[in-house]
Copies of this chain bind each other. A is one copy, B any other.
Amino acid sequence: MDQQQFAEIDRIFNPRCTAIVGASADERKAGSLFLKAWRTTGYRGNLYPVNSSESEIQGLKAYPSLKAIPGEVDLVVVCIPARSVLSLLEDCAAKKVKTVQFFTAGFRELNDSGLKREEEMVKIARRGGFHILGPNCAGIYRPSLGIPCGALSLVDKEEGEIGFISQSGSLALRFIIEGIARGFRFSKMVSYGNACDLDSVDFLEYFALDPQTKVISAYIEGVREGHRFFEALRRAAKAKPVAIWKSGRTAVGAEAAHSHTGSFTSSKVAWEAALKQSGAMRVESMEELSDLLLAFQEIPPLKSWRATVISGVSSGGGGETVAAADTCDNLGLEVPPFTVQTQRRLEAVIGQVGSILRNPLDVSQAYANPQTVYKTIEIVAADPQVDIMIIKEEMDLFYAFMSEEGAMELNDLLVGLREKSGKPIVMVSSLGIAEEGRLRLEKRLHQAHIPIYPTLERAVKALVHRSRYAQFLSQVS
């Protein structure tokens, strides 16, 4: 991707003036929902509803056509039926817009005449010198400019460093919500649907160069230019961590993908081999991808990734240490033995009986006393064999055996320990019966940038991705 191509894509994410075609007095129409979203998320540009028969929509002056809008229009958001789009695109060409993003569906994912119409659309776009996103997509998301994704009236208050490429609009929304809930943040996102003009590869090349984007992630159902895609992927993965969730991998999934975005997916085996060669990370579900993004955002690169797992913080954790050892071993995270010195220091604090003075560590002999629990974790943090600490906090059991104040106190101490020791802390917090309390505790941990996972397995998988990327980088550089 040369500088001019980069600037073209960059422009897509920076619309100063946006027209929404298809907004109307009917609040439940897609166009109206889009307009409402752009109005309420603080978009810092001019916003023009376009409707041939209404003069005002949601308090904004409406224009009968694109041409009637005074001044430039960078982005046109299209929410009108598929049969009317070709004449609209001629207007876009005349108005010299930069980008047209289509929520409108009913093209190649439906039938051959839909595919033909897409080809017509691309011809007009080439002639008019603009780009098309979609059709059948939710379009761009740019939190720093207050640009929402699709019809979701929600934009993260803080800008992040994760670039996200999603063939699906609904999953794009899901990731925005998941990111806000769990604290991972996006620089830019694009949902590109049927990809009649711009495809995943264009955004992959763009994000690889984009200085605001430090981690690249993608949900993809199918790609058309396989060779170009994997070349771009290889280059991107050397520059930044890249995580790919490829769906439509199975026969049933491939059929579903075709009716969703008109994608023809290639074989699972071919994809996996090519991904592996590229150095990109393969994930297989929404959860795995969110978990990975959280780990890449919150955990700095380390020289080595030997972990300790600590359970029994709020009650007995013996069985959980055994299960934790299995989980780490199965997934490939090293949990080394503590040094003899660490074992002796632990014994002095919590004794030997009933505790397992091993890694994974059961601290239940501290009897849910925040100060004693903290002392044991402090000893473990000082062990030269330990690079990262995974702590299982059963937020429910806190309420059975430890007060909320005690739990908050412990967590504040742990945040301090992370700074003092320089060793990252990852928290595992299960759902249960004390959900309101769990939410309060987790909120405070979020604010301190401690990543939280709902199960140990998911935490370990994310750390394994994080550590393998570090390994990969050291091999290629």
Contact = CB atoms under 8 A, between A and B. Distances in A.
A315 to B, nearest CB: 6
A316 B439 contact: no
A180 interface: yes
A141 to B, nearest CB: 14
Interface string A183-224: 000000000000000000000000000000000000101000
Given A150-B316, A397-B173, A247 B322 contact: yes
Contacts of A454: 431, 454
A6 to B, nearest CB: 27
A365 B327 CA distance: 41
Contact of A322 (B154, B256, B316): B256
A327 B284 CA distance: 9
A318 B169 contact: yes
A136 B316 CA distance: 11
Nearest to A396: B177
B170 A257 contact: no
A330 interface: yes
B171 A323 contact: yes
B322 A260 contact: yes
Contact of A177 (B151, B169, B311, B397): B397
A435 B431 contact: no
A39 to B, nearest CB: 15
A255 B329 CA distance: 12
Contact of A219 (B219, B221, B248, B319): B319
B326 A247 contact: yes
Contacts of A106: 352-354
Nearest to A182: B431
Contacts of A284: 326
Contacts of A256: 321-322, 324-325, 356, 358, 360
A332 B110 CA distance: 28
30 contacts: A30-B367, A150-B316, A167-B319, A168-B320, A170-B312, A170-B315, A170-B316, A170-B319, A170-B362, A171-B319, A174-B397, A174-B430, A177-B394, A177-B432, A177-B433, A180-B433, A181-B433, A221-B322, A247-B322, A250-B326, A252-B335, A253-B325, A255-B325, A256-B324, A259-B357, A260-B318, A260-B319, A286-B455, A436-B436, A454-B454
